[in-house]
Structures are given as structure tokens and as C-alpha cells.
Chain A
Amino acid sequence: MNDVLLSVQNLSLGFRGDGGFAHILDGANMTMRRGEIMGLVGESGCGKTTLASAILGVLPRTALQVRGGSINFDGTDMLVDTNAAEQESVRGRRVTFIPQDPFTSLNPVFTIGQQIEELMKWKSPRRAPGASRLPPIIALYPRARRKIDREKVMEMLNLVQLPSPDQLLKKYPHEVSGGQRQRLMIAMALLPEPDLIIADEPTTALDVTIQAQILGLLRNLATDRGVAVMLTTHDLGSAYEICDRITVMYAGQDVETAPVGEFFNRPTHPYTAKLLDSLPDGGGGMIGIPGELPSFYAPPPGCRFQTRCDRMTEACKTRPPSANAGPNHLVRCFHPLYPTTAPAEKESLA
């Protein structure tokens, strides 16, 4: 299928630490189509950020241990070491990143203008592909390209509704508010004209009124430009706001993938159902999910939700295969809440 932009297949990785091997991602699967907004939802510690960092290739090399699986971005394998040059041309150019905390992701000793210029120098869509012959410190920034880039920057700052952009560029990061910094981050993520933006909890540090503005902005800009957005969040409300499709993760495993309407009305995996039930306005606001996340050092075999699941049986000791619970609705459970049709064979998204 040609409209698949990014596919993560059976990714299994972890980190070596003092306590042994921490198995963070255990057979995680995820697909993103071009131009769609996909929400990656789960509690803290479920591996959302690790998965996002794995795609971006920014996990610490020294402790990382990949146990299998693949990440494929539009034909480029993002995991093998031999492919470094090609991966570099993808990262920061065709895949960009919006961080969770706009307060620490700008350098406090440079002006905003300097930082955006630096970004455009290396990652502008008008930069000729291939590595520069000169060492990075004396690499040139041709005047003609600088001029076009500058115009594009101003245009983008207007699009993200920042007031008086020319003055903003001369300011230091501490001089602007959190909402404005997050707008700046969105602008910087869109400037390289990427195919995919990974937004890692972009609104958790912001107030609700600002959150509504930022989410609206992200959705409009992404739809206008046909950019796919992978939104990791633990806030189901903001996922409902802007996503087309939602993937739920639990303890490093994907458990359910569904279009947004199906997801909220027909949750099929027991974990998804419990998650929706513990929302404060979901009627049973005081219920929660008893128990805690399993340890990553000694996870239970098979489905990792078994320790907190009330439908658990002996079968759950092996990982359930993907089954169809509706159109585009995949679930991995032996005891789903709604009937599923036999394991989807060839028809899986990738």
C-alpha cells in the first residue's frame, strides 16, 4: 500500500542498566498514513516517548539494545546502522519534532531569530541534499537561500499567529510566554516542510484555554499542508479533539488501534475500556484501574495487561494476535469486549 508513510513492526527494544535488562518496547506495532493525525495514547511509562525517540533515532546508543523489529519511513529503514546518511536526510527534514516542554527546548543564550536561522541553515527544504564538503563550523549559508528562508520564516510566524514576528526574532526565549514558545516550536517543526511531525505531549505544560488554541492551530496547519502528525498524549480529551485515529499502548505493547469515533464508543480491549471509565466525566470518576504497571525488568510473558485484567486466563500467557473488531479497528486480546473476526492475516495495515 502506497499511502503508508511510517510503519513500525514488532519493535522490541530495551536498555541495559544496573538492575538488568529493562524491556521497554515488546513487539510494538504502529502505522501512519500520509496526512493523518494519529494519537498514541497511554499512561506514563507505557513507552510512548521511547517509541517516538526510536523513530527519531535519538535513543542513547550506549545502553540501547534492539531485540528485533523494524521501523520503516517511506522506504528508508530507520534502525540499521549502515544507512546513516539516508537516515540523516530524513531526520529533522522529513520527520520533525515538537517537544513536550517549550520552556527547556530553546537555548537561553541565543535569540529566537538566531536559533531559527541555525535550523534553516541545515534543514531548509531549499538546501541541496548531500553532505557539505566543508566541516560544519565553516559551512556556508548562501545569501540567496538565506533571503528566501527568511521570508518563509516570517510567513510561518504569521501563520502560527505570533504577534509582531520581526520583533519576536530579536527576543530571547525567556521574554515570551509558554503559549508563544509552543507556537514557535510548531513553526520550527513546520519550516523544514516535513511529511511527519512527532508531537510529544505538546500541550501538557499549557493551560486549557491555550491548549485549545494550540491544538486547533496544529490541526489546521497539518491538514492544510497534508502533514501527518503523531500526537503522543495521556490526555484522552485532547486526543479526541484532533486525531483521526488512535493507538493505545500499555507497557510497551500496542493493544488497540481504532478510528476516533469507534475508539470512544466501542472500546474493545479491556484496558481501553477501563481507561475511558476512569475519566473524571466518564461517570465512574473515582474508579481508576487497580494495581500498578508491571516491572520492565521482569515483565509477565504474553499480554502485559494480564496482571490488572479481570478477564485474564491461562491463554494470556502468550501475546494475542491482532484481530479485527470493525473497519480499521484492530485489537490484541483473547477476551475482547466485543466480538472480533478471526486474526487479520494479510490484511494488516502495513
Chain B
Amino acid sequence: MTDAPILNVTDLSVRFPIRGPFGRSLGQIKALDGVSFTLADGEILGLVGESGCGKSTLGKTLMGIQAPTHGSILFEGTEIAGRTPREARALRRRLQYAYQDPGASLDPRWKIGRSLEEPLIIHTDLPRKERLGKVREILTSVGLPAGHTDLFPHEISGGQQRRVGLARILMLNPEVVILDEPTAGLDVSVQATVLRLFRDLRETFDLTYIFISHDLSVVRLMCHRVAVMYLGRIVEIGPVEDLMENPKHPYTQSLLAAIPRINGPRVTENFWLKGEPANAANLPVGCRFQGRCPHVKPICRETDPEDRAIGDSRVACHFAGEVFPPVPVAKKEQIS
């Protein structure tokens, strides 16, 4: 891992207008609101938050699937925000996006070999023989027999389909891979296998990951740094151990406390966070977490907090480092 950032995102915003009758603008949804972060080469950055907080929008904006309203994305020093489709295509070789179930994005009527070859036909002018060799090579590196090129997706199991989907992403030797909820809906036994595969592939292909997930325990296992998002803004970003052991934003504290911990105190008995996230189309003045924050003060209702640097972390809270989660009352009750 070197220190030069491979990706540098500054003040990135995406707004979706809400249109009424006759295209009248009724307001806007701030899907991303002033997001800044850097991604070092070889790093795994976790992106966590509840549904609707803008995790996937951020991933798609980085890929150029969604155009940013303003802000800049520097990829190895080159501006990639707001490019024309032709320029974006060339960049897409080096940045890849893995959907939640990469296996589902395989064409059921195409043999696996053909699906895997397609990116090479579009993006490179390798002769056919070299293309086929490359397909076999990648297929073996994700742990599948090279003979699978002649099978259809329905002939292999779901787990193998997932591997083929990943192989397809790796065909063009990308540098950054955005993994969007790669373990959502998986059983723990399968999840572990998938995570190990990601880790091995990163070693083999020198990849940098952005790991979008809502599962903090998986993020802790996989990532070097974590960014916590709430309603379109990164509220806390920092090294994984630091953030997990000593969360500074009240939202991060609540998010960590909400995870059931086996043989720990029951979360359901003393969980303090009430209510649901505010409406993204109608954010309150001031801090966006004010409606659910247990430590809310008058200043939170007036000004949106700036990012404050504490150690290696950046925290968007007026009282970062000064607030602590309520101490859980360890009740040892009826378990016999």
C-alpha cells in the first residue's frame, strides 16, 4: 500500500430534482451532499450506512453511471467527473463495478466463455486465440476449472455463477473495483468463502476495493478504512480499528450498538436510537442527524457541522470526541 491516492474525491454532490405536473420543480433530493475522501492504492475502503443514505449513488457516480451535480473525482490525477461517454468507456476498463449478485448479470443464453470474452472484444484488439487463453487464465484464478467455458450459467451452482461474474469484472485488469453489497443475503457459511475469495483476488491482481455494505462486522473483517454515511454525507471516516473501538459520531455509535453481539448484553433491551432517518427531500436546517441524536443541543438545529479532524479520523459533529454512547446496562436475566 503506497500513500499516493489513486482516487481523490472532493465536494461531490448529486441532486435529483423532484418534478411535479408540467415538469415544475418541486424540490430536490440531496442524494450526495459534499462528499470528500481519498482512496490509497491497494486499500480497502468500507462504505457503510442505512438504505437510502447514498452508498450506491456514490459508487455509481464514481463509475460514471450517474453524473455528479458538482464536485470533482480525480483518478490518478485525471479528472473523470462529467466525461463524455467515449472517454468514460476508456476509463471503465480500470474502474469496475460489481453488482450485488454478479452471477445474475450473466446472459442465460450465452455460454460462460462467450460472456467472459465479451469485455475483451469491446475494449481490446487481442486476437481470438489470446482472448481465449486469457479467459481460461482468469477462470482458473477465481477457482473454477477452465472447462467451465463451455457451460451455460444454469448448469453451474449459484456460488460458481458468482465466481464467473467476478471473473468477468477482472477480465480487463481493473485497478479499482467497487463492490456493492457483495454479501447481502448470503448465509454466514457462504459469506466467509466469498470474503476469502475477495481477499485472495486482491493479492493476485493488486486491486483496490471500495466495499459498500451495511454489515459492520464484515466491514471490520475486510477493510482498512471505513466511511460512515448518513443521508448523503460522510459523517465519520477513519481507520477501521479506531472507528470500531472508539466511534466519535453519535450515529456511528448507534450503528455499532445496534449489531447483536452474541453473549453480550441484549441490544433490544437498551437501544436508544428512536425513529427513522429524515426525509432526504426535506432535510432539516443544521445537522441532519438532529432528529434521532441523543445528545442534540441548540447549535445542532442551527448550523450543519463542519468536518473536524480527530486523530486520523474526520467527523462531522459539533461535539465529536466529546459525546459517548449511553452505557449499556448489562442485564443477566432469564437465560438458564
B196 with A238: CB separation less than 8 A: no
> Chain B contacts of A212 at CB under 8 A?
258, 260, 267-268, 271, 273
Most buried by B among A207, A210, A244, A289: A207
Contact with B along A247-288 (1 / 0, CB 8 A): 000000000000111001100000000111011111001111
| Stretch from B37-45, B97-105, B146-154, B217-225 at the A interface | B217-225
> Chain A contacts of B267 at CB under 8 A?
212, 215-216, 241
A208 with B192: CB separation less than 8 A: no
Q: Which residue of B lies closest to A308 (CB)?
A: B189
- Cα distance A209–B196 when bound, in Å? 27
Please provide the chain B residues from 139 to 162 with a CB less than 8 Å away from any CB of chain A in the complex.
Answer: 157, 159
The distance from the CB of A40 to the nearest CB of chain B, in whole angstroms, is: 14
A236 interface residue (CB < 8 Å to B): yes
Contact of B263 (CB < 8 Å), options: A264, A274, A275: A264
A265 with B263: CB separation less than 8 A: yes
B262 with A264: CB separation less than 8 A: yes
A4 interface residue (CB < 8 Å to B): no
> Chain A contacts of B217 at CB under 8 A?
279-281, 285
B276 with A177: CB separation less than 8 A: yes
The distance from the CB of B192 to the nearest CB of chain A, in whole angstroms, is: 3
B335 interface residue (CB < 8 Å to A): yes
Q: Which residue of B lies closest to A265 (CB)?
A: B263
Please provide the chain B residues from 39 to 81 with a CB less than 8 Å away from any CB of chain A in the complex.
Answer: 50-51
A44 with B187: CB separation less than 8 A: yes
> Chain B contacts of A180 at CB under 8 A?
276
B327 interface residue (CB < 8 Å to A): no
B309 interface residue (CB < 8 Å to A): no
- Cα distance A43–B159 when bound, in Å? 14
A216 with B259: CB separation less than 8 A: no
A261 with B268: CB separation less than 8 A: no
B268 with A280: CB separation less than 8 A: no
B262 with A240: CB separation less than 8 A: yes
Q: How many A residues have CB within 8 A of the partner chain?
A: 47
A169 interface residue (CB < 8 Å to B): no
- Cα distance A10–B3 when bound, in Å? 61
The distance from the CB of A31 to the nearest CB of chain B, in whole angstroms, is: 17
Most buried by A among B188, B215, B267, B273: B188
B195 interface residue (CB < 8 Å to A): yes
B193 interface residue (CB < 8 Å to A): yes
Interface size class of B (residues with CB under 8 A): 35 or more
The distance from the CB of B216 to the nearest CB of chain A, in whole angstroms, is: 8
A286 with B192: CB separation less than 8 A: yes
B199 with A286: CB separation less than 8 A: yes
Contact of A278 (CB < 8 Å), options: B191, B261, B263, B273: B191
Contact (A286, B189) CB under 8 Å given A208-B214, A241-B260, A280-B220? no
B276 with A210: CB separation less than 8 A: yes
Q: Which residue of A lies closest to B335 (CB)?
A: A261
> Chain A contacts of B216 at CB under 8 A?
208
Contact with B along A29-56 (1 / 0, CB 8 A): 0000000000000011000000000000
Contact (A260, B335) CB under 8 Å given A212-B267, A280-B220? yes
A154 interface residue (CB < 8 Å to B): no
A209 with B188: CB separation less than 8 A: no
Contact (A259, B192) CB under 8 Å given A241-B267, A285-B221? no
The distance from the CB of A159 to the nearest CB of chain B, in whole angstroms, is: 15
Contact with A along B158-186 (1 / 0, CB 8 A): 01000000000000000000000000010
The distance from the CB of A22 to the nearest CB of chain B, in whole angstroms, is: 16
The distance from the CB of A322 to the nearest CB of chain B, in whole angstroms, is: 20
A-B contact pairs, 16 of them (CB 8 A): A43-B187, A207-B50, A208-B255, A209-B254, A210-B276, A216-B268, A235-B260, A244-B334, A261-B336, A276-B262, A278-B192, A279-B217, A281-B220, A285-B192, A288-B192, A327-B336
Q: Which residues of B contact A (CB under 8 A)?
A: 50-51, 157, 159, 185, 187-193, 195-196, 199, 214-218, 220-221, 254-255, 258-263, 266-269, 271, 273-274, 276, 334-336
The 6 closest A-B pairs by CB, nearest first: A237-B260, A288-B192, A216-B268, A289-B189, A280-B217, A261-B335
Sample of 11 further A-B pairs with CB below 8 A, known A178-B51, A238-B260, A274-B189? A43-B188, A237-B262, A241-B260, A241-B268, A244-B334, A281-B220, A285-B221, A286-B192, A286-B221, A288-B192, A290-B193
